[in-house]
Structure 1
Amino acid sequence: MVEILGHHHISMLTKDAKLNKDFYVDKLGLRMYLKTVNQDDPSMYHLFYGDEVGTPGTSLTFFELKPMGQTHKGTNAISRIGLLVPSEESLGYWKNRFETLGVDHDAIGIYNGMMSLHFRDHEGLEMVLLPNGNRKVPQDWRNNRYTDVPNEHQIMGMGPIEFKIDDVSEMKDFLENDLNFELVDSESELLYTIDFEGLYSDIVLKEEEGEKERPGKGSIHHLALSVADEDELNKVKQLLDEKKVVHTGIVDRDFFKSLYYRHSHILIEFATEGPGLPYDDVEQLGQQLDLPGFLEPRRKEIEDNLEPI
């Protein structure tokens, strides 16, 4: 059985890297801890936001695609990102902050039985803040010193991630029988977790028929699930090989290793916890363009083709 540790990161599409940074750093108070490029197409930025050092489970990442149009919402897509904040009082803080900063948001309400605050970024990406309370979170998550958001209200990391699928039966089977997720609730939506004491690994399945989503700015590209190391990643590979399904094989992303697989129209990445960023000075994270070793000889060409942010 593959051992999933929780969410690793989630990746989205943006039309404008500068506006994206302004929203996630200045308004949400996240740290841009890594500024790099898409390793498969180094003409586009790949920006990473999270806690102070980009701990797995806290990261929202964005590929910049300048010519991209609007997302046409639909089914067979990752539809919403849950983000954890410390308490129900934090929801009031964020509601006031959103009103001050002009962030599109709803009234405080209920999501999966929890107090919640739904909001959208400047490109329509759907997110929801949820109070973590005394629930467990990964011990390595940390606060961000480089924001004006007080520690007691900062976004901690990723919570429930919502999938909309026209037929959830195959995804249910994959989560339960291959990845060892357990069903928490089946009232109106299916909520799965690997840890009943926390929200940091939850996946919400919503069965919804209709047109398939057409991606654009503000759409979600893939969810990465965290595994401990390359040995565990090889277990994922062996599992998928036995199922005789198409996958990418293991890909070295320099900061971690990954494998990608599309199931029920949803692109899922499995990513190792390490080796992580080779940083000596936390203050320097995200300040310069970081390139994987194989792209370093092309640094000048790559930097010349990118607009500074």
Structure 2
Amino acid sequence: MKKVAGHHHISMITKNIKENNKFYQNILGLRRVKVSVNQDDPTMYHLFYGDLIGSPGTGLTFFEMPLAGSMHRGTNAITRIGLLVPSYESLVYWKERFTQLGVKHGEITTYAGREALNFEDRDGLRLVLLNHAGKTIPAFWLEWTNSIVPSEHRILGMGAVEITVQSLESLSKMLQNMFGYTLVSSSNQQAILQSVKGQAFGEIVIVQQDGPRERPGRGSVHHLAIRVKDHDELKFWEKRIKDFGYKIIKLTDRYYFESLYFKEENGIIFELATDGPGFTIDTSIEELGKKLDLPPFLEPKRAEIEAKLGPIG
């Protein structure tokens, strides 16, 4: 049975792109690897942060929506993003750093069986640093050596992603039966699944919660993208998703990768994204994230698009 290979990226909503840019570069020490726009609405910035080249599994992406209101937390939403750090000492480092820089955070605790430190960004997006305890990371994750964070404590990439839903069973079965995720633990209220057994970089934590649905706003997660190898594999998954009775929302070429979107029964949006061609298709590694990059079909409208976008900083 074919399986997906882990997380690709995850996309969120931010109200203020300047503050977002400061937080993820200057506080978390991630590299801004691509400045672009929402291809479906080019008046909206789309920023990508990650490792040296924004490798699959390291990407945090944000759409700027200046008019976004407050997010009202609830169920049927992606509710927490795990980021892997090298060691317990890294958690101590980050706790001190967050205190010094005024970042909302908790105490060092445990989450999904790992030592953890919960925190929030300026929009109220919930994140958690997870002790990877020196375990192997994907060989294609490439460290960005210009980060302001010391090498021994830098964020490695994405870990467990938490999804809160009214029906744990339906989501769990879909991930197992359609995509080949392995169920590694379960209870009445929580299940942990892994795309690659024993590895944190493709882990999904499902939490069952009744009550009102989340009302999206700043700090909301729009979708989780999972990895597929290439175009041919994407077409395989398109057929499989349809065969399981799900409707494809969109199948499109995003230039940096090809994408397929669908919605599962609780309303969670998943994207399947190809590993390539990647962000260096139009920019050198050295110049990544330094200017506005547009896919070829938007390039003729560059002047018009730039006129509607404010400075990032």
SS state of the match for residue 159, structure 1? strand
1:307 aligns with 2:286: no
SS state of the match for residue 19, structure 1? helix
Q: Compute the displacement of 1:183 (Å).
A: 0.8
1:289 aligned residue (277, 287, 292): 292
The 3 A distance-change label for structure 1 pair 21 and 280 is closer
Q: Compute the displacement of 1:58 (Å).
A: 0.2
Q: Residue type of the partner of 1:194? A: S
Aligned partner of 1:226 in structure 2 is 227
Tell me if the contact between 1:247 and 1:260 (Cα under 8 Å) persists in the aligned partners.
Answer: yes
Tell me if the contact between 2:81 and 2:128 (Cα under 8 Å) persists in the aligned partners.
Answer: yes
Q: Compute the displacement of 1:137 (Å).
A: 1.8
SS state of the match for residue 107, structure 2? coil
Trace 1:76-155 onto structure 2 (pairs within 5 A): 76-155=76-155
Aligned partner of 2:273 in structure 1 is 271
Aligned-pair identity in percent equals 47
SS state of the match for residue 19, structure 2? helix
Trace 1:21-40 onto structure 2 (pairs within 5 A): 21-40=21-40
Tell me if the contact between 2:11 and 2:60 (Cα under 8 Å) persists in the aligned partners.
Answer: yes
Q: Compute the displacement of 1:280 (Å).
A: 5.7
Whole-angstrom distance in 1 between the partners of 2:171 and 2:141:
29
Runs of 4 or more off by more than 4 Å in structure 1? none
Q: Compute the displacement of 1:279 (Å).
A: 5.2
Aligned partner of 2:194 in structure 1 is 193
For structure 2, list consecutive stretches of 5 or more residues without a partner in the other structure: none
Aligned partner of 2:217 in structure 1 is 216
Q: Compute the displacement of 1:243 (Å).
A: 2.9
Computed over aligned residues only, the root mean square deviation of the Cα atoms, in angstroms, reads: 1.2
Whole-angstrom distance in 2 between the partners of 1:269 and 1:59:
13
Mean Cα deviation higher: 137-146 or 112-121: 137-146
For structure 1, list consecutive stretches of 5 or more residues without a partner in the other structure: none
Tell me if the contact between 1:135 and 1:199 (Cα under 8 Å) persists in the aligned partners.
Answer: no
Tell me if the contact between 1:81 and 1:160 (Cα under 8 Å) persists in the aligned partners.
Answer: yes
Aligned partner of 2:74 in structure 1 is 74
Please give the per-residue CA displacement for 1:84-118, whole angstroms capped at 9, x wherever unaligned.
00111100010011011110000101112211000
Q: Residue type of the partner of 1:283? A: E
Whole-angstrom distance in 1 between the partners of 2:244 and 2:181:
19
Q: Residue type of the partner of 2:278? A: G
Count of residues paired in the alignment:
309
Whole-angstrom distance in 1 between the partners of 2:303 and 2:184:
51
Q: Residue type of the partner of 2:257? A: F
Q: Residue type of the partner of 1:284? A: E
Q: Residue type of the partner of 1:233? A: L
The 3 A distance-change label for structure 1 pair 280 and 215 is closer
Tell me if the contact between 2:168 and 2:190 (Cα under 8 Å) persists in the aligned partners.
Answer: no
1:183 aligns with 2:183: yes
Whole-angstrom distance in 2 between the partners of 1:244 and 1:103:
43
Whole-angstrom distance in 2 between the partners of 1:169 and 1:281:
45
Tell me if the contact between 1:2 and 1:235 (Cα under 8 Å) persists in the aligned partners.
Answer: no
Whole-angstrom distance in 2 between the partners of 1:289 and 1:166:
40
Q: Residue type of the partner of 2:275? A: E
Whole-angstrom distance in 2 between the partners of 1:279 and 1:237:
27
State the TM-score, normalized to the length of structure 1. 0.97
Aligned partner of 2:251 in structure 1 is 250
Whole-angstrom distance in 2 between the partners of 1:85 and 1:174:
29
Whole-angstrom distance in 2 between the partners of 1:121 and 1:9:
17
Tell me if the contact between 2:3 and 2:181 (Cα under 8 Å) persists in the aligned partners.
Answer: no
Whole-angstrom distance in 1 between the partners of 2:205 and 2:10:
15
Whole-angstrom distance in 2 between the partners of 1:196 and 1:91:
24
Whole-angstrom distance in 2 between the partners of 1:119 and 1:97:
12
Q: Compute the displacement of 1:145 (Å).
A: 1.9
